Structure 1
Amino acid sequence: MNKYVLIGFVGLVLGCSSGISKEDLSKLGGYWEITKVTLPDGNVKEYNVNTSVDYISIDGEEGFRKKMQPRLNGTYETSDDAEAFVITQKEQSFSIDYKTELSEWSEQLIELDDTSFSVKNAEGIRYDYKRFEPISIQ
């Protein structure tokens, strides 16, 4: 009897996991701040305060990412540097493939919703982000 309950529970969990769909990719657009980095050995670095945020612009499966420094008046300062990317689907997952003049790398999209996302790189390092909410002091 316990076997059937366990099999049913596993089936329910697997059947209800929605994963990331192609339609979800548009949720990547906007301002994001890193919350933590998890290394392959399990060590975690928490980020409670960030002096910069990532701005992601996405159009379909292409886009760019750039570092922004938020100001107290609600504006942002940035350089002209941007990292172009293409999102590719590999089996049941998506990867973000970056290419700059100096380097190329890829990150697997692990989680994505309206308020957070996570990626993992080839070295097994996981990066967790939350949507940035600016503080405006007038």
Structure 2
Amino acid sequence: MKHLFKVLLISFVFVSCKQKIQSADIPKINGYWEIEKVVFDKGEDKQYGANQNYDYFQIDKNNQGIRKKVTPQLDGTFLVDDTFEKVSVRFQEDKTYLDYATPYMKYTEEIIALTADELVLLNAQKKEYHYKKATAINILGDGKKTK
């Protein structure tokens, strides 16, 4: 019985420590994000090494913006096309959501964690996507600044 009480207490502490995303946190989403791992609903995860694509977010002060896939290049630039998803940020019942819309579909992800260097999103299939802030790659060593 003592062990059960300890487990319940520890579980309560972890659940109550969940980050509450504020409006002031939303600008941290802007920029390039590289996926590190996906945690599935049963607890197993898939680690990602080098990624061929990054997610780029640009959300304005009205909580509206875009998300698009970009491809990093060896010279520190990114290949970008015209494809994007519209994104709006929604706050509801102490949770924060990203609502996406394309001409073909709509879907939602919950923001679980957000810092300047980390982003965790939970989708409807209960998959957690863990991202780290991406930096430009420049292995050519040409001395030029990356954009």
Q: TM-score, normalised by structure 2?
A: 0.81
CA RMSD of aligned residues (A): 2.1
Cα 1:18–1:96 shift into 2, 3 Å = closer
- What SS does the corresponding residue of 2:27 show, helix, strand or coil? helix
SS of structure 2 residue aligned to 1:69: strand
Shift of 1:19: 2.0
Could you say if the C-alpha distance between residues 58 and 42 of structure 1 is closer, same or farther in structure 2, counting changes exceeding 3 Å? Answer: same
2:38 corresponds to which letter in structure 1? V
Q: Which residue of structure 1 aligns with residue 33 of structure 2? A: 32
Are positions 1:64 and 2:66 aligned together?
yes
1:38-76 CA-to-partner distances (Å, cap 9, x unmatched) read 111222111111011111111021110111111111111
Partner of 1:107: 109
SS at match of 2:58: strand
Q: Does 1:98 align with 2:100?
A: yes
Change (3 A) 1:17 1:94: closer
Say how many residue pairs are matched. 131
Equivalent runs, 1:1-138 vs 2, <5 Å:
14=16, 19-60=20-61, 61-136=63-138, 137=140, 138=142
Structure 2 unmatched runs, 5+: 143-147
Q: Matches of 1:79 and 1:123 in 2, distance apart?
A: 28
Indicate conservation of the 8 Å contact 2:19/2:113, yes or no. Answer: no
Moved over 3 A (4+): none
Distance 1:20 1:89, change over 3 A: same
- Give the fraction of aligned pairs with identical amino acids, expressed as a percent: 33
Give the TM-score normalised by the residue count of structure 1: 0.86
Question: Runs of 5+ in structure 1 lacking a partner?
Answer: none
CA distance in 1 between partners of 2:57 and 2:18 (Å): 26
Post-superposition CA distance 1:63-99 (Å, at most 9, x none): 1011111111111112110010111001111000001
- Letter matched to residue 107 of structure 1: E
Structure 2: distance between partners of 1:81 and 1:116 = 25
Question: Is the Cα contact below 8 Å between 2:19 and 2:112 reproduced in 1?
Answer: no
Deviation at 1:17, TM superposition (A): 6.1
3-state SS of 2:25 partner: helix
For the residues of structure 2 that align with 1:79 and 1:41, how far apart are their CA atoms?
Answer: 35
